[in-house]
Amino acid sequence: MPGRDRPTAATRRLAVATALAGLFVAATGRAAEVVVTVNGLGAGKGRVAAALHAASRADAFPAKEAAVAAQWRDVAFGPARFRFVGVPPGRYAVAVHHDADGDGALDTDLFGAPTEGVGFSGNATARDGAPAFGAAAFRVPAADSRVRTGIAIAD
């Protein structure tokens, strides 16, 4: 057609890139945020870890190798806060470990019981060992939500 220019290759690439960027923003806007607050960290020493576990690996909860995400913080006075972003909808649980001596490992006694503080979402407990995934699980709803969970550690 006279008077109309055909789009150049650069214009087409820009249009495709813009469309893909829009899809990326839309896709990331559908994920949720999980905020974990850990209380009871005692004397303000060592480090604390929070590990986010998905239902797809519920059988391995709370093994750190099975976590879908994990974060460490230096312990300060007051609660420690963790923020997991981009979490797809589903069932999750959080396990927390207060590494009071800072060696990066969960210290245990001769029987395997933790000698450092541990905690689980929903403040789930078990008589022997860690609670089952279902006892600590919470639901992350669809699109653009924020889930908050508090965990108390008894050091």
What number is the average pLDDT over the span 118-133?
88
pLDDT tens profile 75-122:
988 899 999 999 999 999 999 999 989 898 889 899 888 888 899 999
Ordered by where they begin, the domains of the chain are 32-152 (2.60.40)
Which residue(s) pair with 51 in the sheet? 70, 95
- Write the single-letter amino acid at 79: P
Q: Work out the number of other CB atoms within 10 angstroms of the CB of residue 9.
A: 7
Mean pLDDT on 51-58: 97
Amino acid at 46: G
- 53 within 8 A of 67, measured Cβ to Cβ: yes
- Tell the residue number behind the tokens 């979402």, with chain if given: 121
Residues 18-52 have pLDDT tens digits of: 333 333 333 445 689 999 999 988 777 899 999 99
